[in-house]
A and B are shown apart, each in its own frame.
Chain A
Amino acid sequence: KQEVTQIPAALSVPEGENLVLNCSFTDSAIYNLQWFRQDPGKGLTSLLLIQSSQREQTSGRLNASLDKSSGRSTLYIAASQPGDSATYLCAVVTGGGNKLTFGTGTQLKVEL
């Protein structure tokens, strides 16, 4: 059974700092890995999707890497802003049907 772990569970940084969120998964036979953002009381917003054949994806200040063989992914956020404060969730698709297995998330707070 696929298990996804995210470290740290919570993180507080000053504005402008670069930061890294970590995700690990136990079954390396994944189809893709996705990073989501969740704001309080709202649904999930997809940030980046990395196919199993890819090593990284970039969108603006966000960069996600994937090391499938070691079961790890990182989300790098450059020049963090207070608006980046949210919970970040990592999820993988292992079997058919595009079903996601989520981690428990990292709650990020970017302070002024």
Chain B
Amino acid sequence: GAGVSQTPSNKVTEKGKYVELRCDPISGHTALYWYRQSLGQGPEFLIYFQGTGAADDSGLPNDRFFAVRPEGSVSTLKIQRTERGDSAVYLCASSLQPSSGANVLTFGAGSRLTVL
């Protein structure tokens, strides 16, 4: 597509529920990134994919968070047993390749998650 698409744009859920957030990157972009932005803060890195594999998942806060990209295009961020502290905007970005310094990331509009 023309840009990075994220769905849903807003998600309200109850504590303890399971949530999936979807990211559809720009066609042809091999690198895909997930970031989390809490209110009043800058985005924080969660995980990035090169193709189908997670090249770096060092930013995932705990084992309740998991992400997949089975066909090297669309990615899903999965959060189990949601907690109120998971409330944030989850941003997805993609780029042509993850080589440092070479390519600008294009960000989606984000998925705002609210855990009641």
Contacts and interface: CB of A to CB of B under 8 A. Distances in A.
Interface stretch (A14-22, A36-44, A60-68, A75-83): A36-44
B100 A102 contact: no
A45 B106 CA distance: 7
A52 B56 contact: no
Task: Categorize the interface residue count of chain A.
Answer: 20 to 34
Given A43-B110, A46-B104, A98 B42 contact: no
B43 A44 contact: yes
Contact of B101 (A32, A89, A102): A32
Contact of A97 (B55, B91, B93): B55
Nearest to B48: A97
A45 B105 CA distance: 9
B67 interface: no
Interface string B19-36: 000000000000101010
B59 to A, nearest CB: 8
A60 B56 CA distance: 36
Nearest to B56: A97
A51 B105 contact: no
Max chain B Cβ within 10 angstroms of own Cβ: one of A4, A41, A44: A44
Interface of A: 4, 31-32, 34, 36, 41-46, 49, 51-52, 89, 91, 93, 95-105
